[in-house]
Amino acid sequence: MSTHENQRVAVVMGSASDLGTMRKAADILESFGVVHDVIVSSAHRTPDETFAFAASAAEKYAVIIAGAGGAAHLAGVIAAKTTLPVIGVPIKSDALNGLDSLLSTVQMPGGVPVATMAIGDAGAKNAALFAVAILALEDAELTQKLKAYRAAQAKRVMESQPES
């Protein structure tokens, strides 16, 4: 159980087939002790449920991460029904390697923003780190954890020098 009960994040995806990528987001949130729910809800296959989720999301969540592939309208549809920050993750697709997902997620009309991350695993990871950064604006403990995360990452890079 996290210490950040009031800063819950929803990790939503269009299909259970997105879980391999979206688990990267959940893992990061877990490591920062941020409470999160993992939800499958499709903008196209379960539109009513997706709309209902987005319309009431502010009652339960502070940030939403939404990942989808192909005609990836999930993040945009959710953003249309909530003023919470929505972070989009374009899932790598079989047909176009995720370029379709990226463009579908990122090209929102002015007025309804989706903060779109990179395609695939890096995007899912960064979506969670971005969510943590938003929550950290009002949470000094999370800010310290983010700084420690960056420092550990830098240390790993410095220690990975090839033998000369």
**Could you list the residues that contact ligand RP5 (CB under 6 A)?**
13-15, 17-18, 42, 68-70, 91
Residue closer to ligand RP5, measured from CB, 17 or 83: 17
Residue closer to ligand RP5, measured from CB, 32 or 67: 67
CB of 90 to ligand RP5, least distance (A): 9
Residue 108 DSSP code: P
Residue closer to ligand RP5, measured from CB, 70 or 76: 70
CB of 12 to ligand RP5, least distance (A): 10
Residue 60 CB neighbours (<10 A): 10
Alpha helices for 16-139 (secondary structure H): 19-31, 47-56, 74-80, 99-106, 121-136
- Decide the pairing of beta strands 86-91 and 63-69: parallel
CB of 100 to ligand RP5, least distance (A): 10
Residue closer to ligand RP5, measured from CB, 68 or 142: 68
Residue 116 CB neighbours (<10 A): 24
Residue 16 CB neighbours (<10 A): 9
